[in-house]
Structure formats: structure tokens, C-alpha cells
Amino acid sequence: MEFSSSYVGILDLMVSERDALLVAFIFGVMGVAFVVFILMALLKRFGAHQFIINLFLLLGSTLFICLFAGLIVLMPLFFMGVSGLKMLLIWIIMFLMIFSFLIYQFKVIGAKIKKVMN
């Protein structure tokens, strides 16, 4: 038995309403990144463990980068008529790749930021 989008209503909505999906990418990611950065600032102020603060920093940075990279990638796909489900999968893969890059290069990026800030 193969998986059909008729079983899950949200997938059917993504396929049919591509413009709503693009708006959700733009404003949803921006809103979530804003909330993540506010939570990171609050956790830092309350003295949370540095690992948790770094995790929120990685997540917020990934969302912020995905916002701009997603616009560059998804806008042409949107105007070419690519399915909303394919655009979602492309965005998820892009998010995972940027997140893994930032995890791998976190110390180097942090050292460069501290060097510039001082």
C-alpha cells in the first residue's frame, strides 16, 4: 500500500495551496526565530546552562539563515509551479544541512564573532 496525500489533510492542503505554504515559510520561520532568540536571551539572563543557550543560538541562527536561503530557493520554484510538498521537502533538507553545518563549525564561527566583537 502506498502513501497517499488523501490520508492526511495537511499534505493535501500543501499540494493545493502553494501560496499559503510560501507565506507560512516566510512569516512562520520569522516568528519562530524571533521567539527562539527571545527565549535564548531570557535563559541567558536567568543563568541557564551554556549548552542550552548554544542550542537555542544554533536553532535560531539556522532558522534565520533558512529564511533568506529559503526565499532565494523557493521563490523560483513557486513561480515554476513546483508542488508545495516538494518545496516543503526541499526546505526541510536545506534546514537540516544548514543546522549540521552550524553544529560542525560552531567553535570556529564563535571564535570569529568574539574576535570581531573585541
Give residue 65's Cα distance to chain centre. 7
pLDDT at residue 81 is higher than 70: yes
The pLDDT of residue 96:
94
pLDDT at residue 82 is higher than 80: yes
pLDDT at residue 44 is higher than 70: yes
Q: Could you tell me the pTM of the whole model? A: 0.77
Q: What are phi and psi of 17, to 5 degrees?
A: -110, 75
The pLDDT of residue 15:
74
Q: Specify the range with the lowest mean pLDDT, choosing from 4-13, 21-30, 50-59.
A: 4-13
pLDDT at residue 93 is higher than 90: yes
